[in-house]
Amino acid sequence: MSRTLPIMLLAGTLLATMAIPSAATATDPAARGKPQAEPKPLVIAHRGASGYRPEHTLEAYRLAIRQGADYIEPDLVSTADGVLVARHENEISGTTDVADRAEFADRRTTRTIDGRSVTGWFTEDFTLAELRTLRAVERLPQVRPTNTAFDGEFAVPTLQEVIDLARSQSRRLGRTIGIYPETKHPTYFQSIGLPLEEPLVDTLRRNKLTRRTDAVFIQSFETANLRKLSRMTNVRLVQLLGGSGRPYDFVVAGDPRGYADLATPDGLAWISRYADAIGPTKDLIVPRDADGALLAPTSLIRDAHRARLAVHAWTFRAENQFLPADHRIGTDPAARGDITAEYELFYSLGLDGLFADHPDTAVAVRAATR
Residue 66: partners with Cβ closer than 8 Å, 6 or more residues away: none
What does the pLDDT look like over 298-331, one tens digit per residue?
Answer: 999 999 999 999 999 999 999 999 999 999 999 9
Is 88 marked active-site? yes
pLDDT band, very low/low/confident/very high, at 258 (cuts 50, 70, 90): very high
Nearest residue to 92 via CA among 156, 167, 12: 156
Split at pLDDT 50, 70, 90, the class of 38 is confident
Residue range 176-225, pLDDT digits in tens: 999 999 999 999 999 999 999 999 999 999 999 999 999 999 999 999 99
Q: Is the pLDDT of residue 15 over 50?
A: no
pLDDT (tens digit per residue) in 267-286:
999 999 999 999 999 999 99
pLDDT surpassing 50 at residue 26:
no
Task: Please name which of 351, 369, 360 lies closest in space to residue 65, comparing C-alpha atoms.
Answer: 360
**For residue 34, what pLDDT is reported?**
56
- Rg for the chain, CA atoms, rounded: 20
pLDDT in tens, 115-163: 999 999 999 999 999 999 999 999 999 999 999 999 999 999 999 999 9
Contacts with 367 (C-beta within 8 Å, 6 or more apart), sequence order: none
Whether the per-residue pLDDT at 7 is higher than 50: the answer is no
With 80 as the cut, is the pLDDT of residue 249 above it? Answer: yes
Q: Does residue 255 register a pLDDT over 90?
A: yes
Is 46 designated active site? yes
Name beta bridge partners: 72. 45, 179
- The residue type of 113 is I
Q: What is d(CA 235, CA 218) in angstroms, rounded to the nearest whole number?
A: 7
Beta strands in the chain (DSSP E): 42-45, 71-72, 75-78, 84-86, 109-113, 116-120, 178-179, 182-183, 217-220, 236-241, 277-280, 310-316, 353-356
Residue 11 pLDDT: 38
Does residue 113 carry a pLDDT above 50? yes
CB of 272 closer than 8 Å to CB of 4: no
60-77 pLDDT, tens digit each: 999 999 999 999 999 999
Q: In the CATH hierarchy, which top-level class contains the domain 42-369? A: alpha beta
pLDDT of residue 173: 96
Give residue 28's pLDDT: 40
Where are the chain's structural domains? 42-369
SS3 of 237-279: the string is EEEEECCCCCCHHHHHHCCCCCHHHHCCHHHHHHHCCCCCEEE
Distance separating alpha carbons of residues 134 and 56, to the nearest angstrom: 13
CA distance 139 to 252: 30
Cα-to-chain-centroid distance, residue 53: 17
Structure confidence by residue, pLDDT tens digits, 82-97: 999 999 999 999 999 9
Q: Name the pTM for this structure.
A: 0.89
Percent of the chain beyond pLDDT 90? 89
Q: Which of 56, 88, 185, 312 is catalytic?
A: 88
